[in-house]
């Protein structure tokens, strides 16, 4: 059996007296698109930050390709935070060229293609971008890194409903589904469900489901969104 790409063993994360994640056990192999879903406060962002090495577990271990997750794993993990992470004084093009210097895995040609597909103006200053176009730029910078694991925290946040369908298709088309794994958290479950190979459903810091989407639908005869609503009751 091949080594899992992602492995969490008895992982809990506390913030003071508040428990963000409780005794999480996960094992995920390489390849495909994984949806991380759940209501606000369920622990989605915390789980992604643990995988990216931005925070450490209070208990248990988080492994990426058999090694402890930490911020120095930029050779294998790309992370798009839900927070602002771009320099406002750069233009879009300067952001791409800066990223090309900072990230060894960055594919500048692919980045330009994404910028074109996302209808971004290369000369536009980042500080002047709307929330939706800033989200597109962050997405382009993240997807231009050719790495085994890409983590995206609410990448569709701020993008208007009319444009989201196009953006979702662009995300899927720029991932090598055999060699790369995309794990993204989202509230837009109904819009991305048709793309998902696997779903992780969190509720109150616990994993309720970690299943192949097709098998889950066949066994329950309901959509992922319906299961999420059922759990949240």
For the segment 183-220, what is each residue's pLDDT rounded down to a tens digit?
999 888 888 888 899 999 999 999 999 999 988 888 88
For the segment 100-128, what is each residue's pLDDT rounded down to a tens digit?
999 878 999 999 999 999 999 999 999 99
Give the helix/strand (H/E) hosting 46. Answer: helix 44-52
Q: Is residue 49 part of a domain?
A: yes
- Tell me the CATH number at 201: 3.40.50.300
Q: Is residue 74 part of a domain?
A: yes
Q: How far is Cα 193 from Cα 201, in angstroms, rounded to an integer?
A: 13
Q: Is residue 209 part of a domain?
A: yes
Secondary structure of 68-110 in the HEC alphabet? Answer: ECCCCCCCCEEEECCCCCCCCCCEHHHHHHHHHHHCCCECHHH
pLDDT tier for residue 156 given thresholds of 50, 70 and 90: confident
Q: Is residue 210 part of a domain?
A: yes
| pLDDT (0 to 100) of residue 194 | 87
pLDDT tier for residue 1 given thresholds of 50, 70 and 90: low
- Higher-confidence residue of 152 and 157: namely 152
For the segment 45-104, what is each residue's pLDDT rounded down to a tens digit?
999 999 999 999 999 999 999 999 988 777 899 999 887 779 999 999 999 999 999 987
Could you list the residue range(s) of the whole structural domain that residue 163 is in?
A: 6-232
Phi, psi dihedral angles at 58 (to 5 degrees): -75, -25
Q: Is residue 68 part of a domain?
A: yes
Q: How far is Cα 119 from Cα 122, in angstroms, rounded to an integer?
A: 9
Instruction: For residue 161, give Cα distances in angstroms to 3, 120, 149, 165, 182.
Output: 39, 18, 27, 7, 22
Q: Is residue 223 part of a domain?
A: yes
Indicate the number of domains in the chain: 1
Q: Is residue 1 part of a domain?
A: no
pLDDT tier for residue 160 given thresholds of 50, 70 and 90: confident
| pLDDT (0 to 100) of residue 129 | 95
Residue 3 CA to its chain's centroid (Å)? 21
The average confidence (pLDDT) of the chain is 90
| pLDDT (0 to 100) of residue 69 | 92
């Amino acid at each position: 059996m091949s080594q899992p790409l992602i492995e969490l063993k008895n992982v809990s994360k506390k913030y003071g007296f508040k428990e963000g994640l409780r005794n999480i056990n996960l094992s995920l192999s390489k390849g495909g698109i994984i949806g991380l879903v759940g209501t606000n406060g369920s622990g989605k962002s915390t789980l992604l930050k643990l995988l990216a090495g931005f925070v450490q577990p209070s208990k248990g271990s988080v492994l990426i390709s058999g090694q402890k997750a930490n911020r120095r794993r930029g050779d294998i993990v790309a992370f798009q935070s839900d927070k602002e992470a771009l320099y406002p004084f750069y233009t879009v093009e300067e952001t791409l060229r800066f990223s090309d210097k900072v990230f060894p895995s960055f594919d500048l040609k692919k980045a330009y293609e994404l910028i074109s597909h996302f209808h971004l103006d290369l000369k536009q200053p980042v500080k002047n971008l709307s929330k939706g176009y800033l989200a597109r730029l962050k997405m382009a910078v993240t997807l231009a890194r050719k790495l085994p694991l890409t983590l995206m925290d609410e990448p569709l946040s701020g993008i208007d409903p009319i444009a989201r369908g196009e953006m979702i298709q662009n995300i899927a088309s720029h991932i090598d589904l055999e060699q790369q794994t995309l794990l993204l958290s989202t509230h837009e479950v109904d819009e991305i469900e048709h793309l998902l190979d696997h779903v992780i459903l969190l509720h109150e810091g616990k994993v309720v489901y970690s299943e192949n989407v097709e098998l889950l639908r066949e066994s329950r005869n309901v959509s992922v969104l319906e299961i999420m609503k059922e759990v949240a009751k």
